Each structure stands twice: as structure tokens, then as C-alpha cells.
Structure 1
Amino acid sequence: MQHTPVPAKSIPSPEKKTIYPQPFAALVEGRVKRKLGDHFGLTHFGVNLTELAPGAISALLHHHSKQDEFIYILQGTPTLLLDEKEYPLSPGDCMGLKAGAGVGHQLVNRSAEPVVYIEIGDRTEGDEVDYPNDDLKAIQLANGVWSLTHKDGRPY
């Protein structure tokens, strides 16, 4: 836990890039997350500085049952997918994603330049994540660990 200010880019990204099982993990290979909130010992919400290489995605298209999310674009021009709609974003653009709204969301970097953004989310126990286009379901357990299964409950 850090008790003094630091440059955000000096915080290392975790060795394990994703909680997704294969084959989904391969889809986010071009994403690098620096867990800023964890670095400072924050427990009520997470803050990530995330970079998407050209062609990379932020996550599978998904929506949360209990956790709100917020993104703020710092660099680059990603495309925000909200279900079937697409929105081009630029530095300074932001979006709040309300828990329980059932709107799938995902950032895609279709440009030739890196995208850098801040993402903030709470850590509500019992949150369930639905991935409408993929056979994946996630539930946040009491200890903060995510349980990932097929939609029918079979483990990966």
C-alpha cells in the first residue's frame, strides 16, 4: 500500500492480465490495466488506468447487476459499444454505466494509436456479470474473488 503520490504509469500492471478463462482471455491480450486503487489499498471501489493497443478490446460485451462503472478517455479514439449501438469517443469524453440497466458495454480500439482511459467501478458483493454474446457468467463472491462459469453453471 502506497502512502505518497506516484506517477500512475509507474504502477505495474498485474502479471495475470485477466480473470477470463480461455478462449476469452486471448481476446483481451492487447489490454494493459494498472490497478491504481489497489496500489493505494482502496477497498470500496476500484480505479484502473487502462491502455488498449490498436485492435484491442476492454472486455467482452457485458453488463453488471450491482456494480456501477465509469470511464473517462485520456488518449486515443476508442469506439464505445452499447448493445448494438456504437459511439466514437475522444479524449475528455466520459460515460457512466448504471448497474442493473442491462445495457451491454465494451470499448474497442479500431484506430492505429493506443487508447488510454480511467475506469472506476465499485466492488459490490454478489454482483453478477452477464456476457450476452458469450457463454460466460461471473459472480463476485464475499471475499472479492470472481467465480466464472458457463451460463449453465458448469465451471471452466
Structure 2
Amino acid sequence: MATIFNEKNVSFEQRQSPVPEFAWHTSRKLAEMAGAKQLLFEIRSLDPGKYSYPYHFHRSVEEIFVIISGRATLRTPAGFQEVQEGDTVFFETGPEGAHQLYNHTAEPCRYLDLRTNPGIDICEYPDSGKINILPYEEIYMADERVDYYKGEENVAEKWK
């Protein structure tokens, strides 16, 4: 069955991070309401002078932004460019798909955030060197990576 979302049945809640520059309004559980199994999606509204999530990329998730209204500056590995109403932007997996939005205008920028749902994803943040295991939000510093066999010495002793 088709599920239609519009201003009558979509409500927004403000999400404010501890860092004041990161704030947005987001719809609640649209994919769940629709019964989606393979996709996650929300409608987001980015207020003037605010950034979307920190600059990041996904290892397992492909993502699309459809700009519904307004304009924003998009940051990618290729640089900065303005996106506006009617634009559709695809982000591939891996470092080439890194992205972040900043609303440089005086009006809100509303966009559909649509992404695949593999169940578990690894999100990396190049600016801060963090790794996030989603959906669990287990966040680690990438520079703390260790060798696969670290701590596995003397395995035979553990079998006694």
C-alpha cells in the first residue's frame, strides 16, 4: 500500500547537539510508519546558520538528499557548492561520498534524506578522526586501531 507523507501527517522535532552549530529539525520514524524494510528516510529542515551532521561518510550506506525547499552549501571531497530546491544529490559509500550541509541563507533548507538500510553501518568522520558503529552509536577514535592479533598471544593457555 502506498503511504503519502505531507504537512498534514509529518511532524518535526528539533535535534540539538551539544555543539550549538549542529542543529536541525527532523521528521519522526517515516520509514517505520511506511513499513520500509530496505530504506531509511526522514525529511529534515536545516535552520539558517546551522550545519547538518559533522562531515562524514558511510562504509555501507548509500544516501540521497532531495532538496525540497531553500538552499544550502554542500561540502564534499570535491569542495563546496550550493544546492537548491529541486536538486538531488547522491552520496556513494566510502571517502568519496563524504558530505555535510551548511545553511548559509536566511531561510530554512528542507530536504529528504533517503538511505539504504544494511542493518549495520560504519560511519567515519574525517575532521575528528572518529568511527561510529551504527545503529548502536558506539563511537571510537580511529587512531586507536590495533593489529588484529593484539592480545591473542598464548592462545593455547586459554584452552587448558
Q: What are the equivalent positions in structure 2 for 1:74-113 lying under 5 Å apart?
A: 74-83=68-77, 85-113=79-107
1:33 counterpart residue number = 26
Q: Determine if the alignment matches structure 1 residue 146 to structure 2 residue 103.
A: no
**3-state DSSP of counterpart to 2:32:** helix
2:118 counterpart residue number = 124
**3-state DSSP of counterpart to 1:10:** coil
1:98 to 1:46, Cα distance in 2 relative to 1, 3 A: same
Structure number with the higher strand fraction is 2
Alignment partners' CA distance in 2, 1:48 and 1:55: 21
Q: Pick the structure with greater CA Rg.
A: 2
Shift, 1:133, TM fit: 0.4
Q: Which 4+ stretches in 1 moved above 6 angstroms? A: none
Alignment partners' CA distance in 2, 1:73 and 1:4: 20
Q: What are the equivalent positions in structure 2 for 1:47-62 lying under 5 Å apart?
A: 47-62=41-56
1:149 to 1:11, Cα distance in 2 relative to 1, 3 A: farther
**3-state DSSP of counterpart to 1:102:** helix
Partner amino acid for 2:49? G
TM-score, normalized by length of structure 2?
0.76
In structure 2, runs of 5+ residues without a counterpart are: 145-160
- 2:65–2:90 contact (8 Å) kept in structure 1: yes
Shift, 1:127, TM fit: 1.6
Matched residue pairs, number? 143
Alignment partners' CA distance in 1, 2:32 and 2:104: 29
Q: What are the equivalent positions in structure 2 for 1:55-74 lying under 5 Å apart?
A: 55-74=49-68
Q: Give the percent of matched residue pairs that are identical in Structure 1 and Structure 2.
A: 22
Alignment partners' CA distance in 2, 1:80 and 1:124: 25
In structure 1, runs of 5+ residues without a counterpart are: none
1:46 counterpart (40, 45, 55): 40
Alignment partners' CA distance in 2, 1:151 and 1:101: 14
Say which is worse superposed, 56-65 or 94-103, in terms of deviation: 94-103
Shift, 1:57, TM fit: 1.4
Alignment partners' CA distance in 1, 2:62 and 2:82: 21
Shift, 1:125, TM fit: 3.0
**3-state DSSP of counterpart to 1:78:** strand
**3-state DSSP of counterpart to 1:39:** helix
